[in-house]
Amino acid sequence: MREKILYALGALAALLLARNIWVMLTGLPDEAFQGAIFRIIFFHVPAAFTCFLCFFVALVASISYLKSGKMQWDSLAVSATEAGLAFGAANLVSGMIWARIIWGIWWTWDWRLTSMLVCWLLYAGYLVLRRAVEEPAQRARLSAVLSILSFAVVPFVFFSIKWFRTQHPQPVLYGEGKMDAAYRAMLYLNWVPLLMLAAVLIAIRIGQENRRRELDALRREAHSI
Amino acid sequence: MGDAAARNFQFLAYGLIAVWAILAAYVLTLVSRERKIQREIESLKRILEDRGGR
Amino acid sequence: MLFLRQAWTVAQKDLRSEFRTKEALNASLSFALVILLLFSFAFDPTAEMTREISGGLLWLVFAFAGALLLNRSFARELENDCLDVLVVSPVPAAALFLGKALANYILLLGIEAVCLPVFGVFYNADWTRQPAWLAIVILLATWGITIIGTMFSALTVNLRLRELMLPMLVYPMLIPCLMAAMQLTTALMAGQAPSGDQLAWVRMLVGFDIIFTALSVALVETVLIG
């Protein structure tokens, strides 16, 4: 039953995405200054949103694990972090391809790019830490603490790098450089399938984590004989 | 379509492909990990049954 | 009150054992000098450019030397199971952590006090122009480095590959703290007292220190005892 729901959700996400790409290419006019390439934003920005939402879910799951000591929370934390890293990578790479056209360079040490990279590295450290700890309860505990610390440093990273340098186009959802309503609608509309996809990935990963725990239990049993 | 516009479009395609390639790569690692875990679970179960039977 | 006394006892113990052997202190200090030397090959050290990047250089030296010192903080208690004894002693984990952080802070400040004049001589940087502000910045940023470094030292103490893990976890966490320190130090070495935008950096350093001290003290119990 659970798997059927997941497949259905995945299929729905794929359908929505296909529709969005179609509308994006045929229904929306090119942006005045950037031409066709601006459409990357419909993936670039929602991917970043999804990434941070995943990290936030990981934070909540980590706190809940430390409070309750239930392993399910640990599974959720690691799954959300992994999915967040995947979307973060998608965000970084699509941004680089956009920058190659608009700025003429692949990478620039602008604050948003740098902050995103730092966050990505922080959470990649989380996965590295998990690999280094053998004992499941200890692994869950240490990585939960790391997740909390990492999330606490994210705002500092953003503000500090922001004061340091700025080149990225201003935020497009609020403030002066506000996007046209049709574009904004498209952006949010494309966020929905990405969120669904993230949910499916996290659910699959949780199932995997549970099976891995089962495997660990079997291993211990095999050892004890 | 001008040269710049064509290049523009080409990079849009690269961008979309890159996004989906990354997500697909993640899904593939998930699948391969899943297979490995299943295989190990089964082999361990078999071992345990063999020993339990004796 | 008792809590602070316990923390101070731990700090005294750490300082005493460090001054007996001077292992970490010597290693960290000589490492700092080696980095100072290496930087001179990366660019022409007499150029005007030095003044513009002096803050960055100085804090990189402090961060590298500091990480070397801090990594050992909990790891050195592994011998003879000292860590287990410390954990079961009536001293709460938070006091243990705070004491260790305090000892590290004093050691790191000592290393910085040696490196700063050497840096000034080697790179012809005048660091005496704003002594009070420089002291404030160094005290604040060094506490940030210390608290994060000590926390991660506790976090990774039982891990295999500890030495490999730590730098990769610690440096990204330290970026805001180091960046603020670098900005402020560069300005101070040019003789400008912080004003306007610069004060925001000071506030950020204070916020960083408070938040991570609070988080670390709250979480260290789960890390060490579980």
The chains found to touch A (3+ Cβ pairs under 8 angstroms) are B, C
The conformation of residue C226, written as its DSSP 8-state character, comes to -
Probe site for chain A from B1, B7, B16 (most A CB atoms < 10 A) = B16
pLDDT in tens, A103-155: 777 887 777 788 889 899 999 999 999 988 888 888 999 999 999 999 998 88
Domain boundaries, given as residue ranges, for chain B: 22-54
Q: How confident is the model at residue A60 (pLDDT cuts 50, 70, 90)?
A: very high
Q: Do chains C and A touch (3 or more CB pairs under 8 A)?
A: yes
C160 touches chain A (CB under 8 A): yes
Chain B residues with CB-CB distance to A88 below 8 A: none
pLDDT in tens, A16-49: 888 888 877 777 666 666 667 777 778 888 888 8
pLDDT of residue A110: 74
Contact A163 C223 (CB under 8 A): no
By Cβ distance, the residue of A144, A149, A163 closest to C215 is A149
Helix (H, G, I), strand (E, B), or coil: what is residue B17? helix
Given a cut of 80, whether residue B6 has pLDDT beyond it is no
- How many whole angstroms from its chain centre is CA C80? 27
Contact C165 A128 (CB under 8 A): yes
Q: Using an 8 Å Cβ cutoff, are A106 and A100 in contact?
A: yes
Contact C156 A66 (CB under 8 A): no
What token pair was written down for C179? Answer: 């960046």
pLDDT, mean of residues B27-52: 87
pLDDT, mean of residues C103-122: 91
A135 CB neighbour count, 10 Å cutoff:
12
| DSSP assignment of C32-77 | HHHHHHHHHHHS-TTSTHHHHHHHHHHHHHHHHHHHHHHHHHHHTT
The conformation of residue A31, written as its DSSP 8-state character, comes to B
B26 touches chain A (CB under 8 A): yes
Domain boundaries, given as residue ranges, for chain C: 2-224
Helix (H, G, I), strand (E, B), or coil: what is residue C108? helix
A154 touches chain C (CB under 8 A): no
Domains by residue range for chain A, with CATH: 2-224 (1.20.120)
Higher-pLDDT residue of C212, C130? C212
- Matching residue, tokens 């990578």: A89
Contact A141 C208 (CB under 8 A): no
Given a cut of 60, whether residue A176 has pLDDT beyond it is no
The chains found to touch B (3+ Cβ pairs under 8 angstroms) are A
pLDDT of residue A166: 52
Chain C residue with CA closest to A121: the answer is C172
Helix (H, G, I), strand (E, B), or coil: what is residue B3? helix
**Residues near A219 by beta carbon (within 8 Å), at least 6 away in sequence:** B44
Chain A residue with CA closest to C200: the answer is A163
Chain B residues with CB-CB distance to A93 below 8 A: 15, 18-19, 22
A8 touches chain B (CB under 8 A): no
pLDDT of residue A165: 59
pLDDT of residue C105: 95
Contact A90 B8 (CB under 8 A): no
Q: Using an 8 Å Cβ cutoff, are C108 and C146 in contact?
A: yes
pLDDT in tens, C28-52: 999 999 988 888 888 776 667 777 7
**Residues of chain A by 3-state class (helix, strand, coil), percent to 5:** 80, 0, 15
User: CB burial class (10 A; 0-12, 13-18, 19+) of residue A81?
Assistant: buried
pTM above threshold 0.90: no
pLDDT of residue C76: 84
Q: How confident is the model at residue B53 (pLDDT cuts 50, 70, 90)?
A: low
